[in-house]
Amino acid sequence: MYTEVRHPLVQHKLSLVRDKETGSKLFRELIGEISKFLAYEALREIPTEPVAVETPLEVAQCHRVTSEIVLVPILRAGIGMLDALTDLVPNARIGFLGMYRDPETSAPIEYYAKLPEAKPDSTAIVIDPMLATGGSSAAAVSLIKEKGFRKIIFICIVSCPEGLATFSKEHPDVPIYTACVDRQLNSHNYILPGLGDAGDRLFGTK
């Protein structure tokens, strides 16, 4: 189950993110801006409760979010989306998951995990710019479920059919929000046309 957010501004920013001439500073800014659009859509159905608020003139009947939001970036590239989402949900708790893909087998390997305690009303939002093979993302969500989280949403910038199929097969109950579904993976499991290595472009490491 996935939603491709085709908003014109998302697609415009995505064109700049894809451009190989876009430097790290602008790349980071654009990833954050796209992440906010995606989170806005992903949180559309977040639970709320009615609340009476005293305005300067009278009492207004309003709504406030009741679900506790837990943001979980997958290291390292997921960090590039984190600030934008904490701007949107400043009271969110934050966990971190370190996952990488074995270069020989492409199997996901966990090297770090630190998550807040799951509460009955918690919603975990897992963030990673790329959903390529889907193996690391699916493994991350499995670990989050093991920690007691029942409501989970996955947000990525770029995805592909192979990754969506793998992820959805393992976690059909977890909705995915993405800015685009690209054509395919290449022989090295990079998304085509993609945007390159998101971590390297975010942090200027290559």
* Token reading at 153: 């949403």
For residues 127 and 78, the answer to whether their CB atoms sit within 8 Å is yes
User: Helical H runs in 49-134?
Assistant: 79-88
Give the distance from CA 71 to its chain's centroid. Answer: 9
- Of 3, 105, 133, 178, the active-site residue reads 105
Active site residue 150: no
**DSSP secondary structure letter of residue 12:** H
Active site residue 101: yes
Residue 112 has, within 13 A of its CA and on its CB side, a CA count of 11
Active site residue 197: yes
- Of 182, 197, 201, 205, the active-site residue reads 197
**Residue length, the chain?**
206
Active site residue 121: no
- Of 3, 18, 166, 200, the active-site residue reads 200
Give the distance from CA 39 to its chain's centroid. Answer: 8
**DSSP secondary structure letter of residue 186:** -
- Of 3, 101, 128, 173, the active-site residue reads 101
Residue with tokens 């939002």: 125
Residues labelled as active-site residues: 101, 105, 197, 200
